[in-house]
Amino acid sequence: MPPWITQTEPASLTIAVKAVPGAKRSEIVGTLGDRLKIRVAAPPEGGKANKAICALLAKALDVRKQDVSVLTGASDPHKAIRVQGVTPEQVVTALNLD
């Protein structure tokens, strides 16, 4: 299991994220040390970047938007994102990362 994924329950996990708001385009860049680097076009004001990160992960992992939420780091570039309904193996496969 990659260092940026922590299994919390059988079908629930936490992903350590390095967020880069205000980027040219929204994309999952890859790993950066022990975090998954995600760029989003949304600005960091009013939770817009957090919503964009959750929506991007939900789409990439093929889960509902409500299954992805920010656990910690709402106003920090280092975040912990909770994802329900997937296993670490499914995340690695869906994101094409190892």
Distance of alpha carbon 1 from alpha carbon 89, whole angstroms:
8
Half-sphere CA count of 80, side-chain side, radius 13 A: 10
What contacts 71, CB < 8 A, 6 or more positions away? 14, 79, 80, 81, 82
pTM: 0.93
Q: What is the pLDDT of residues 22-35, one digit of tens each?
A: 999 999 999 999 99
Q: What is the pLDDT of residues 39-77, one digit of tens each?
A: 999 999 999 999 999 999 999 999 999 999 999 999 999
Q: What is the dihedral of CA 31, 98, 66, 44, to 10 degrees?
A: 10
Query: What domains, with CATH codes, occur in the chain?
Result: 5-95 (3.30.1200.10)
What is the SS3 assignment for 83?
strand
